[in-house]
């Protein structure tokens, strides 16, 4: 049964068994919208999330906001308008909206006897959360028609943090846009078999170091975990780390959680390194990978952060280039396959996604595609 082919037609495949990129973008989650430092005071920054055009900005007090970049009157992008630090003025007919809530404050064309209730009108507005170098935006489930007169509802949970384990640490982020669907971006991220072919470098490892690996996985809420293990000893950075940290044991844990979160934690004695990588759907066939890393290793080495950023950038660039080439092969929607065990995480991802959608549709509890811990084997 190892080989799975796609695309499936929805009519023939049970939703829960679907293991195919469907380019469905999941709503009801927080997404990284834009790097914080690039959203300035006094003007709106255009951005796109799940095919929704956004105008991002900061009010006078620095609080981030996200408006749908289309005026509820006749659709002019609000990012083209004027912003005084409190209200956004549409450049077409001058309607004014409160930046944080989207509530309409003024319709200049109204005469004294025309009593439209201006404050019942809303520009589309999204909950925002600034965390770990990014402005996160909550994309709610599509609401009922009639937007334009609805105040937004805020999510109960906050955007997920990068895990940290000491008071002082360094942090850096990296972004790259990938010319593929969010599904290909995500399964590319969790795929262990491409390493020796895509991420070769003399200082990392060579193709000849390929060997059999065995890793334990366990289900977690909304995702799965590669259980704490000692990272493979065939890569120079880990050897270096072991030396530097003067620790007997280095352990790595990698979690994947819907919709798009990959959390990696490396701990060696009192030293740690963690990252939260997200693959965010921009449009149906374009996504962006954002890596935010925090660490207290090399904190006192002057070239530490730039070296780490360099290594990271190299990796992400190798992935980006690979996916750019892959997208050429994917243009005609060819039949593809997922094989055991190396592609099992990808299958879990599709299983999780389908189970999540099914639970939402039926209002029942999500049925996790994994029934318990599993050990996977592959060569890489």
Residue 183 sits in the site that holds Fe ion (CB under 5 A): no
Residue number, 38 or 74, with CB nearest to ligand FES: 74
Lookup result for tokens 């997200």: 278
Write a three-state SS string for 59-104: CCCCCEEEEECCCCCCCCCHHHCEECCCEEECCCCCCEEECCCCEE
17 binds, among ligand FES, Fe ion, none (CB under 5 to 8 A by kind): none
**Is 53:68 a contact under the CB 8 Å cutoff?**
yes
| Distance from C-alpha of 109 to C-alpha of 106, rounded to nearest angstrom | 9
* Apex 118 CA angle, 117 and 120, nearest 5: 75
Candidates 40, 41, 74, 299; binder of ligand FES (CB under 6 A) is 74
**319 forms part of the interface with Fe ion (CB under 5 A):** yes
Nearer to ligand FES, 24 or 107 (CB): 107
Q: Which stretch binds Fe ion (CB under 5 A): 96-104, 107-115, 277-285, 318-326?
A: 318-326
Q: List, in sequence order, every residue forming a beta bridge with 247; answer none if it has no partner.
A: none
Q: How far is the CB of 232 from Fe ion (least distance, A)?
A: 15
| Segment interacting with ligand FES (CB under 6 A) among 21-29, 88-96, 113-121, 316-324 | 88-96
- Give the binding-site size for ligand FES (rule: CB under 6 A): 8
User: Of Fe ion, ligand FES, none, which one sits near residue 319, judging by CB under 5 to 8 A according to partner kind?
Assistant: Fe ion
If we measure between CA atoms, which residue out of 68, 354, 315, 292 comes closest to residue 160?
Answer: 292
Distance of CA 77 to the CA centre of its chain: 25
Contact 147, 123 (CB under 8 A): no
Question: DSSP labels for 110-179?
Answer: --TT----GGG-B--EE-EEEETTEEEEEEPPP--S-TTS------SSPPPPPP--SS--EEEEEEEEES
Among 90, 245, 308, 355, interactor with ligand FES by CB under 6 A: 90
Site stretch for ligand FES (CB under 6 A), options 91-99, 330-338, 350-358, 372-380: 91-99
- Chosen residue from 8, 92, 244, 312 binding ligand FES by CB under 6 A: 92
Binds 299, which of ligand FES, Fe ion, none (CB < 5 to 8 A, cut-off by type)?
none
Inter-residue contact 182 to 281 (CB < 8 Å): yes
* Residues 272-311: x where in contact with Fe ion by CB under 5 A, - otherwise, as a string: ----------------------------------------
Binding mask 95-114 for ligand FES (x = CB under 6 A): x-------------------
123 versus 297: smaller Cβ distance to ligand FES = 123
For residue 127, give the nearest of 257, 27, 277, 26 by alpha carbon.
27
Phi, psi of 301 (to 5 degrees): -90, 125
Binding site for ligand FES (CB under 6 A): 71, 73-74, 76, 90, 92-93, 95
Binding site for Fe ion (CB under 5 A): 319
């Amino acid at each position: 049964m190892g080989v799975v082919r796609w695309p499936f037609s929805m009519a023939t495949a049970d939703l829960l068994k679907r293991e195919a990129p469907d380019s469905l973008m999941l709503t009801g989650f927080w997404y990284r919208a834009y790097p914080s430092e690039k959203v300035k005071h006094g003007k709106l920054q255009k951005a796109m999330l799940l095919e929704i055009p956004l105008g991002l900005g900061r009010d006078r007090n620095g609080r981030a906001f996200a408006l749908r970049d289309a005026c509820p009157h006749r659709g002019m992008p609000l990012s083209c308008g004027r912003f005084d630090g409190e209200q956004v003025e549409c450049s077409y007919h001058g309607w004014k909206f409160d930046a944080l809530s989207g509530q309409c404050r003024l319709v200049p064309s109204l005469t004294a006897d025309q009593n439209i209730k201006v404050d019942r009108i809303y520009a589309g507005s999204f909950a925002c959360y600034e965390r770990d170098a990014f402005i996160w935006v909550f994309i709610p489930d599509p609401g009922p028609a009639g937007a334009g007169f609805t105040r937004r509802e805020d999510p109960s949970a906050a955007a997920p943090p990068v895990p940290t384990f000491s008071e002082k640490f360094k942090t850096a982020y990296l972004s790259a846009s990938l010319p593929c669907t969010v599904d290909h971006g995500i399964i590319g991220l969790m795929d262990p078999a491409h390493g020796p072919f895509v991420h070769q470098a003399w200082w990392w490892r060579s193709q000849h170091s390929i060997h059999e690996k065995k890793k334990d996985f366990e289900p977690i809420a909304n995702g799965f975990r590669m259980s704490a293990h000692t990272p493979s000893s065939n890569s120079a950075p880990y050897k270096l780390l072991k030396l530097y940290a003067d620790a007997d044991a280095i352990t790595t844990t990698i979690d994947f959680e819907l919709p798009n979160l990959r959390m990696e934690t490396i701990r060696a004695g009192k030293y740690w390194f963690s990252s939260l990588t997200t693959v965010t759907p921009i449009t149906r066939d374009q996504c962006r990978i954002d890596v935010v890393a925090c660490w207290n290793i090399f904190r006192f080495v002057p070239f530490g952060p730039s070296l780490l950023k360099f290594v990271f950038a190299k990796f992400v660039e190798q992935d980006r280039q690979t996916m750019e080439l892959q997208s050429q092969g994917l243009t005609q929607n060819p039949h593809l396959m997922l094989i055991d065990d190396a592609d099992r995480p990808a299958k879990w991802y599709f299983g999780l996604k389908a189970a999540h959608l099914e639970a939402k549709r039926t209002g029942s509890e999500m049925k996790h595609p994994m029934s318990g811990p599993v050990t996977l084997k592959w060569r890489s």
